[in-house]
Structure 1
Amino acid sequence: MMKKSLFVLGLALCLMFVLSACGGDSKSGEPAVAPTGVTKEVTITAKNFEFSPAEIKVKKGDTVKLTFNSEEGVHGLMIKDFDINMDESGTKEFVADKVGTFDFNCSIMCGGGHGQMVGKITVE
């Protein structure tokens, strides 16, 4: 009976250890964020010298399907905090895995108004 109790206790401890190791992000120490199943489709259009929309809001864990269109001039789109860099029109996806407000910018020197081409993505 004693051996069976020790075996069950040992098994329970092993299971606790395995479960506590799952779901963490070893880089930041924060829990990993899995996509919530919600996909937000966002289209950003670049013109001289602005983005439309200039502000985007999503929830933490959302998958963001981002479509970028450069309609006037030559522009790119960079969201450093989510490792997005698009030098031409197209679509990319990322998971909004951190809370805060993050800038996006034009990634191609496009003229005198280049420095003012800034937008914000807010993750709640």
Structure 2
Amino acid sequence: PAERLLALAARNDSALIWALIRHRTDAGDDVPRAVAETVREVAAAAPGSRLNLLLTDGETITATAWGDTLWYLTMPGRRTAVASEPYDDDPLWREVPDRTLLVATSTDVLLTPLKEPTA
């Protein structure tokens, strides 16, 4: 709703995308679905958008690679890091393919391809 968007502290493209994701989660979508569907919807409305998003609740990281680089480093059972680029020379860094949803926990990293919006 417009009133929720206007109540956001920041009025920029990231705030709009956050509001769209929140709207979906408030309606019952889980975070990965809300993020994936929002990215598809925004990409359809604004082709050529770079939509790398990252959202965490402290236990799960949900991120998208859409038009820009995204990398992850995981040590199952210990930690997972997600960044736009590797921050060190650890050979365990893995690049996330473009147009992909990443959902990571301390034990697993799941990569799901995101389909390009249809015209």
Q: Does the alignment reach a TM-score above 0.5?
A: no
The structure with the greater share of residues assigned to helix is: 2
TM-score normalised by L of structure 1: 0.32
TM-score normalised by L of structure 2: 0.33
The structure with the greater share of residues assigned to strand is: 1
